[in-house]
Amino acid sequence: MTASAESQYQQQSQAPQAPRAVYIHIPFCTNKCHYCDFNSYVLKEQPVMEHLRAMEQEMARTVEQCPPSVIDTIFVGGGTPTVLKPDEMAYFLESVRRHFPNWSNNIEFSMEANPGTTDVDKLRVMYEGGVNRLSFGVQSFNNDLLHGIGRIHSVDDVYRSIDNARKVGFDNMSIDLMFGLPNQTVEVLEHSVERALELDLPHLSIYSLKVEENTLFHTLYKRSQLPLPNEEDELAMYMLIMERMKAAGFEQYEISNFAKPGFASRHNTTYWRNEDYYGIGAGAHGYVNRQRHINIKGVNPYNAACQTGLPRLDSFTVDIGDAMEDFMMVGLRVMEGIDKARFRAQFPGYELDQVFQVQLTKLLQANLLEQTEVGYRLSEQGLLFGNDVFGTFIGAVSDAQRA
């Protein structure tokens, strides 16, 4: 790579560019699920209003440092944001609107919700506060399976929550399902997929279980006490999901996400295109002008840090090689694949085919990637072995290419 290309990249990194997406993390939950390693804390006796005020302080300092322009997407995750009481929810949403006021006309404002934590009053506060998309963490339509993974809601709670949301006016809703769960069979998953499709929602996310460290499931797994499906059954589950969703008119636009036309998650697409976003809240990550930050995780330490400055646990400039590797790994998750022109725009002076020539040739020969008119995407075979494809790009950019 040339010195002028590196100079262009550095100039681009230093140029102030306001993100058009905001991620906000609410770290409270009613309980900790057995598989969850997210930054979340059981709600009981937590200083909720103090935390909401601390988040408002972080928002104020964040936009002072990098003033926002137009906001296209906001996503509130957790934890379980909908454990907030209606008055707490109203305060929170007013804070968001105050500090990120310039919303696009077709803003996508998503909030994660757990069935059983959303009554009509709370949903109305959310709707009137600007939330226009809900993502319900359903995981399964089997009560025994829900109990086995530590969820506290029932299948009846799912139907009640969806009905309440529709009464208030929500029509853009998604639900999450999981497969590869302990004691889950292909038949049990098929039942959940069928029940989900009957809800006539425009978006479904269906994720495979990952046994993460610092979870109850990881402890059980290490003791050989976690009865997971075998690899053949898990593959059969994924094949069934893709088949059923396609037959129901959904487009698989990302490895784990399916949408009716026009309802793909625009916020998550920001991540998959390796674009900038603000990150607010305890344990939240942000990416602004080649700077990644990770916030302090604990609620009380986060609150205290917000009194005097930004609550950063770590902040660093993303090396150009790491940024290019990230571009490949997240971009190939999307079915449309990666775009050479978008790569060139993010990394002026660099060409995707030159930087990753060895890796692309290997994956094309293995029939894990295929070429498109604008770049590359996973093949049908690559879709089943996505982790192998993504892993190919870890450490792929040489020191010479980074220089």
The yes-or-no verdict on residue 3 having pLDDT over 60 is no
Pair 389, 257 in one domain: no
Pair 259, 340 in one domain: no
pLDDT at 333: 97
> Residue 257's closest CA among 208, 318, 310?
208
**pLDDT above 90: percentage of residues in the chain:** 93
Distance of alpha carbon 354 from alpha carbon 1, whole angstroms: 9
| Domain closes at, from 257, 272, 287 | 272
pLDDT at 244: 98
Pair 80, 196 in one domain: yes
| Domain closes at, from 256, 272, 288 | 272
Position with higher pLDDT, 73 vs 290: 73
Count of CB atoms situated within 10 Å of the CB of 273: 15
pLDDT at 401: 73
Distance of alpha carbon 309 from alpha carbon 11, whole angstroms: 27
pLDDT at 403: 62
Which CATH number fits the domain that encloses residue 40? Answer: 3.20.20.70
C-beta separation of 114 from 136 below 8 A? yes
329 lies in a domain? yes
Instruction: Provide the token pair at 340.
Output: 């050479």
Pair 137, 236 in one domain: yes
Distance of alpha carbon 7 from alpha carbon 229, whole angstroms: 51
pLDDT at 8: 55
Pair 228, 346 in one domain: no
pLDDT at 16: 55
Pair 325, 264 in one domain: no
284 lies in a domain? no
The yes-or-no verdict on residue 85 having pLDDT over 90 is yes
Q: pLDDT tens across 19-66, in order?
A: 999 999 999 999 999 999 999 999 999 999 999 999 999 999 999 999
281 lies in a domain? no
Which stretches within 66-141 are classed as H helix? 86-99, 120-128
Distance of alpha carbon 108 from alpha carbon 133, whole angstroms: 7
Pair 111, 251 in one domain: yes
Distance of alpha carbon 104 from alpha carbon 292, whole angstroms: 25
Pair 325, 218 in one domain: no
Split at pLDDT 50, 70, 90, the class of 6 is low
285 lies in a domain? no
3-state secondary structure of 333: coil
Q: pLDDT tens across 274-307, in order?
A: 999 999 999 999 999 989 999 999 999 999 999 9
Pair 47, 114 in one domain: yes
386 lies in a domain? yes
191 lies in a domain? yes
Q: pLDDT tens across 337-382, in order?
A: 999 999 999 999 999 999 999 999 999 999 999 999 999 999 999 9
Secondary structure element (H or E) that encloses residue 132, with its range: none
Q: pLDDT tens across 211-270, in order?
A: 999 999 999 999 999 999 999 999 999 999 999 999 999 999 999 999 999 999 999 999
Q: Is the peptide bond before 262 cis (omega within 30 degrees of 0)?
A: no
Pair 129, 228 in one domain: yes
pLDDT at 398: 79
394 lies in a domain? yes
How buried is 173 (Cβ within 10 angstroms: 0-12 exposed, 13-18 middle, 19+ buried)?
Answer: buried
309 lies in a domain? no
Pair 376, 268 in one domain: no
Per the prediction, the chain carries an average pLDDT of 94
The yes-or-no verdict on residue 387 having pLDDT over 60 is yes
pLDDT at 316: 95
Average the pLDDT over 73-101 and give the result: 97
Which CATH number fits the domain that encloses residue 324? Answer: 1.10.10
Q: pTM for the full model?
A: 0.94
Pair 40, 186 in one domain: yes
> Containing domain of residue 52, as a range?
14-272
C-beta separation of 284 from 295 below 8 A? yes
The yes-or-no verdict on residue 160 having pLDDT over 90 is yes
Split at pLDDT 50, 70, 90, the class of 17 is confident
pLDDT at 11: 54
Q: Which of 14-18, 53-57, 103-107 has the least mean pLDDT?
A: 14-18
The yes-or-no verdict on residue 402 having pLDDT over 70 is no
Domain count, the chain: 2
